[in-house]
Each structure stands twice: as structure tokens, then as C-alpha cells.
Chains A and B, each alone.
Chain A
């Protein structure tokens, strides 16, 4: 009996098939070749550990407390989202398997229950996001809507040191290639204006001395980005691979 991945055999494989009028429906395609893990790659964990938010990854001992309470399971039924497993894959160095979760890993809503409960003091939420960042930087994960929103948010904030909600909304719409109907936009704008929550254009807030502050922040962000990318060795296809 070969060892095969659970995920491959547990799917519902009832297939409908009729051959010459005879119904032979059943579990087909269950002769799976086992996928053998043939290498380990410490680069993921080394990189994650080197980030200020990823430092606690090496504490994890795979108890599963984080996943057990994860609201992705309890509230959203997303069984693919398993922080305990993501950490293991990164820790031991199964990069290829990790890449399968490159988009799922971003689903975390940062409720931080895992961080509260972890007996080993792993900052699970931060670690998982750091693993996600690794995957994005190495090209495994496409930029998600959340990433684009983050980008728009940061740029918006950097402009004047205070958020311009209307501008953020417009930028995000452009990035996503979406357009809210003018009528809806107008009614939303009016109600925001009436309740004093719309600060844009001539009404926008200013932050005193922001220009100097911005220079410092931008330099820091550029430095962070350089450090993140600089630590990444070019990926080789064989690393952490399987056959």
C-alpha cells in the first residue's frame, strides 16, 4: 500500500460511466502514484525568521491549537486554511507544497485568536502573513485584492499623513477595474458629506509638517523593501521538490 496524499483520495470520486449500456459508475481513478518528497529547503524558514514579524516561527511544535480555533474554520468553513500546516511546510522546507496555498494563505482576517492561544508564544497571525509575503515576493502568489487595497491605502496615507477616503475609494476602484454606478456613488457621497465624514479635495485634512515626515517614512519603506527582497535567493525549481 503506497502512502498517498489524503487530499487526493478523499475527494468524492463517484463518476458516472456507462459502457455499452452497462452502468459502471463508481470510484474511478483511485490508482494514484504516491508523490515522494525528495528534498528539504531551509531558505523559506531562514527568510521568514529573518523578518521582524516572522521571528517566532521556529517555536512551533505542531500542536494544532491555532488551527483548532481559527475562525477560517469555525466561522467561514475554509478547511484549506490551516496555519499549523503552513508553518510546518515553511519550517521543514517543503516549499513546493507550500506554493499550493499561495492564495489561500491570504484569507486570514487577523482575529488573532491563534496568537492568544498558542502555548509556545508563536505570533501565528504575523508568521502566516510573513510566509504569504515570501510567496508573493518569490512570485508564487499573485497579488490579491487585499494586497492592492493595502498598496492603495499606504500611498493614500503617505500623500498627506491622513486618510482621504474618497481618493482611496477611487484608486482602489481603478486598481480593481471596477466602477460603481454614478447614482450610487452620488448618494453615498452625499450621506457621507452630511454626516461630516467626507474629507476630500478642498475639504481634505492636512497634517502639519507632513512633508518632512513623509521623506523619513518613504526612506524607511524603501529600506524595508530592499531588505525583504535582498534576502531572497533566486528560486531553483529543484529546491524542496518532489517527484
Chain B
């Protein structure tokens, strides 16, 4: 049996590869970066919402299942540059910096994931211009290193604002969808800050709070136990305070019905999730239909979210839309099963 190709080494791809190996299928795991683990690993996620469990406790076991398995062939710093449908599976060309190699694979799982929205594109928030305007990635790293300070002067902030829906639900940047994670991750970050530094005031500027399902619990706790404040209104611009080093968040408090220009020491942008570069490339390579948002589209998403509808091609994780790690892991399992069934026929 030719190996099953799993493209992408994030949570979904790791899960798919581990399950395929457990089913006894030879597995070829291809990852464009030089390490496995995807976005959580790349940006050093701190605690994971909503259970506030350290990311390593989730990523560690996922990684070790793959790293120690003899029937998983791991190819890092490698991309797929060509793919052709064969009567049974695909023929793909793998490319590294200094070599190319043609391989036959019996099925493909696309677990190519998402990219964080590039917050510089919302220029009015000053990301990349003001050092104390951060986004999710940097704050995760900051919390991971347990060092909550202003990048500009290394001083601890007294008041932090989170701005939700940055690069999400916004036609100006072409991203009308909800990133599903922004609310819960912002709230989680605010809770983490308040847990460690109760002297820092945490304000979340929101249009809606979408901590769906059981995540609601963390939202409630953030108010009741950690005193995180919620202000309704979307910040329109961030500027630098006159003469000082503080930031001014200009917006309208829509409950107060009044414009607000409130100083903050640090502002965190809840940067959304976009189809990853790898996802866009895979869509072209394998001829997968994409929706208007640019994510891969399963044939019947209600019935089977991991089936592409194309022969031998399956999806897992955030390649088909914003997704939490547990959902990505579950889809990895589903896609592994479906790919195994196809490859064994």
C-alpha cells in the first residue's frame, strides 16, 4: 500500500497522521516549516481556552505520538509543488530547498490550516507603528514567558484594552466571517493577565461576545471572578497620546451613546483567522473548490465535513474554516478514517 499523504503538521495533521499510523497505514507527513505543531507551536501559545490548560500539555502528546511512530515518514521544510490524480490516489512532487522527489500516495489529507490575520492591514489601529499595540501572537508569547510589559519601555501596563474582530467581520479587509476564537482567546488572555497581575485593569471592546456553547463559562468567570470589563463599541482608531507614551483608543461607547477617547498602556488586537498560505496553494494544486471566504469547501459540510467530494482527498482542521484545536483534532481522526477506507479499497 502506498503511503497516505498528510499535508500540514498542525493539530489536525498530527492527529490524522497518528490515527493513520494506528490503523496500520504507512503515512507520509509533509510540513513546510522546519518543525511540527503548526500555529500553536509557531507562536508559542500560552494557556488554551477555555480550560486554561498549558498549550504544551495538548501539543506535547500530539507531537510525541507522531515523532515516535515507525510507520510515519516525516518530511519537514518540504512542500508539495505538483499533484496529479492517478487511478488510485495521487502522484505528488515534494520539494525541499535543494531537492525534488516524486511519490505515489494512496490518499491525501489536507490539513493546511490557517494564518493569523496580518494586523498591519487594519492600519487605523497602528499595529507595527506603535510598539504597544500588539496582537494575539505576541500576547500569547508574552504570557508564555510570563512577562507582561510594554514593549516600548519595558514597564508594566496599568490598563490594557482588547479590541475584538480585527480582520474578522469586516468587509474592508474582505473578511466577513467570524473567527470564532477571538472572543474566547481575548477573554482568556484578559483572565491570564488578571490572574497574575490583579492591579492591571482589563477592558474588552466588543460588538458581540461569541463564546459559544460551553465556553460561555469562561466569559462569565472573567466578569465575576476576574473583574474583566466589557465595553460595547468598536474602536475606530488608535493614536498616540500627546506628549506621552500612552495610546488613545477612539471609539463610541454605544451604550453610553457618547464618543470615547480613552488612554491605555497597551492595546491587544484580536487578530482573526484566514485561510493559510498552504491552504490557498493546496486548493490550486488539488483543484479543490473554495468558498467565497477562501477556505476549502467540503462537498456536503453537514453530512461529512472531512470529505472533499474529490477521489481520495480529505480535509481536516482550519483549512475548511476557523476552528478550535479539539475540533481540528477530531477532524484529523475523521479524515484519517476516511482516507484509510479509501486507500485500502
Contacts and interface: CB of A to CB of B under 8 A. Distances in A.
Interface stretch (A36-44, A156-164, A178-186, A219-227): A36-44
B303 to A, nearest CB: 35
What range describes how many residues of B lie at the interface? 20 to 34
B255 A85 contact: yes
Nearest to A242: B258
Contact of B224 (A3, A58, A89): A58
A42 B201 contact: yes
Which applies to chain A's interface (DSSP): helix, strand, loop or mixed?
Answer: loop
Nearest to B260: A37
Contact of A6 (B203, B257, B263): B257
A35 interface: yes
B120 to A, nearest CB: 27
A58 to B, nearest CB: 5
Interface stretch (B6-14, B22-30, B48-56, B226-234): B226-234
Contacts of B230: 61
A36 B261 contact: yes
Contacts, number: 68
Given A62-B232, A88-B256, A91-B229, A39 B262 contact: yes
B263 A39 contact: yes
Contacts of B232: 62
Interface string A19-63: 000000000000000111111101001000100000000111110
A34 B258 contact: yes
B224 A92 contact: no
B257 A3 contact: yes
Interface string A101-142: 000000000000000000010000000000000000000000
10 contacts: A37-B253, A37-B258, A40-B159, A40-B229, A42-B201, A58-B224, A59-B220, A60-B223, A88-B255, A97-B258
Interface of A: 2-3, 5-6, 34-40, 42, 45, 49, 58-62, 85, 88-89, 91-94, 97, 120, 242
